[in-house]
Chains A and B, each alone.
Chain A
Amino acid sequence: MALDEQLVSLTFFCRASRLKLLRCVIRDAAELVGLDEDATDAVVLAVNEACMNIMQHAYAMDPRGRIEVVISQEKNAMVFRLRDYAKPINTDAVEPRDLDDIRPGGLGVHFIRSLMDECGFLDTPEGGGNLFEMKKLINRKGDQNGVSG
């Protein structure tokens, strides 16, 4: 049985240019824990979307906003915890939009929920802000668990 292990901790500010670095780190960590290519694409997109939501909605692109991403392997899952220091959001209001309503924007929550096995906000951490957790099961080869369905 795999031991729980914190693999990476990354802290960056609210700048779109940081997302590429984040994606590279996620991709390497996913390879390390044994996710297949499809599942790797899934976690890269989902975590990117979650960080974009923090940047655009929690921080309104304020470049002083700080984001912490911790990537762990816990039992049979890859776990991502995203912490921000913005005003606590109304988590009940975070809902995916109706996909039949064709309009720009609003797809991020749908992507996250479709691609991750579990996701949700944890209790407001000490010091305020928001803490969002996502889990991706590390499946056996051949399981369908990625972006391509």
Chain B
Amino acid sequence: MAFPVEDKHGFSVITLKGEVDLKNSPDARKVILNNLKKRRHVLVDLSGVEYIDSSGVASLVEGLQYARSNDLGFSLVGVSEAAMNVLRLARLDQVFRIYASLEDGLHGGG
């Protein structure tokens, strides 16, 4: 599955949706890191995520670490209940910068 990327107000907005698991988390990782390596600030829209496992979460953590190391913005927006439950379980809900909506993320500066 290819995860779509849109250019919005200087951000790369990456939309993960459906089930993010071992089968497609390598695609998520690739699209996140590719955009960060282009020196883009990244917002990851998780509003359409119905399921995410530890491999999907690992893709997000890797993006966060790359962004922090390279002084880039990396935030999650519109996190679905299913995804938030897993982030809480991993105690990562306090680690990521999370915005309620894409609009909030764009205004918040990533």
Contact = CB atoms under 8 A, between A and B. Distances in A.
B95 A16 contact: no
Give chain B's interface residue range (CB within 8 Å of chain A).
Answer: 20 to 34
A133 interface: no
A84 B90 CA distance: 27
Interface in A30-81: 41, 44-45, 48-49, 52, 55-56
B54 A114 contact: no
Majority secondary structure of chain B interface residues (helix, strand, loop or mixed): helix
Nearest to A23: B51
Size bracket of the A interface: 20 to 34
Interface string B77-97: 000011001101111100100
Interface string B35-68: 0000000000000000101110111011011000
A20 B55 contact: no
Interface stretch (A4-12, A104-112, A119-127, A135-143): A104-112
Contact of B53 (A48, A99, A102, A110): A48
Contacts of A49: 53-54
Given A52-B55, A99-B91, A45 B22 contact: no
Contacts of B53: 45, 48-49, 52
Contact of A17 (B23, B55, B61): B23
A120 B81 CA distance: 29
Contacts, number: 64
Interface in A88-104: 99, 102-104
Given A99-B90, A99-B91, A107 B22 contact: no
A107 B19 contact: no
User: Which of B23, B88, B95 has the largest count of A CB atoms less than 10 A from its CB?
Assistant: B23
Given A147-B86, A149-B85, 4 more contacts: A48-B53, A107-B54, A111-B54, A111-B90
22 contacts: A16-B22, A20-B23, A23-B19, A41-B85, A45-B53, A52-B54, A52-B55, A55-B22, A99-B91, A102-B61, A102-B65, A102-B92, A102-B95, A103-B65, A104-B61, A104-B62, A107-B54, A107-B90, A110-B89, A110-B90, A114-B89, A147-B86
